[in-house]
Amino acid sequence: SQKIEQNSEALNIQEGKTATLTCNYTNYSPAYLQWYRQDPGRGPVFLLLIRENEKEKRKERLKVTFDTTLKQSLFHITASQPADSATYLCAPLGGYNKLIFGAGTRLAVHP
Amino acid sequence: NAGVTQTPKFQVLKTGQSMTLQCAQDMNHNSMYWYRQDPGMGLRLIYYSASEGTTDKGEVPNGYNVSRLNKREFSLRLESAAPSQTSVYFCASWGEPPYNEQFFGPGTRLTVL
């Protein structure tokens, strides 16, 4: 079955550093992959979409890579701030009209 | 423009009771979704509706039913609640899959005793 793996342990980093989150997927080849941010007690909010033919996508301080050979996406936040503290969800396209969500990685940015 | 709205925000049920979770979107989206989110397990798809008048099972449909009432509204019904259905439920809509984003509601936190 299709499986998504994200680091289950929280990532703790110092303000100003770059945070890197990993998403690995197995047993399929998604044409698209999305990243979402989720704050406690709220619904996920879309951040970025990357297509299989795009190696890298950027939006302000965010950068996403998509390696279809390794079956992996990396999500980077540069110059991180305490306000970036949240859970980040990886969501490859799992079939027509469906996303498959990873369990998410919690990021904590300390001043 | 309210986006995706859900009611209620919180609910406590006893085992065997029934209830309906309501969801509405005002973005004129065709596709709507119901997910449940449990600690450490991420969002799991319960049911989805690709367009008005159609519904399909997702990964975890057992114990649930859905109704796509019209283009705006998509409800989720628990006929006989069980403690295993204690979870946070999110409704989402998707305007033009897979090219853009899903929009999520604020969630319903359900506890079944």
From B96's Cα to the closest Cα of chain A, the distance in A is 9
- Do B3 and B103 meet the contact criterion of CB atoms below 8 Å apart? yes
Check pLDDT > 90 for residue B100. no
Which pLDDT belongs to residue B99? 73
pLDDT for A9 equals 87
DSSP codes joined into one string, A21-66: EEEEEES---SEEEEEEE-TTS--EEEEEEETT-SEEEETTEEEEE
Residue A32 one-letter amino acid: Y
Which one of A32, A46, A104 has the shortest CB-CB distance to B98? A32
pLDDT digits (tens, 9 = 90+) for B23-79: 999 999 999 999 999 988 889 999 999 999 999 999 999 999 999 989 999 999 999
Rounded Cα distance between A52 and A47, Å, is 17
Searching chain B, which residue's CA lies closest to the CA of residue A30?
B98
Give B-chain residues touching A101 at CB under 8 angstroms: 35, 42-44
Residue B100 vs residue A80, higher pLDDT: A80
C-alpha to C-alpha distance for A99 and A96, rounded to whole angstroms: 9
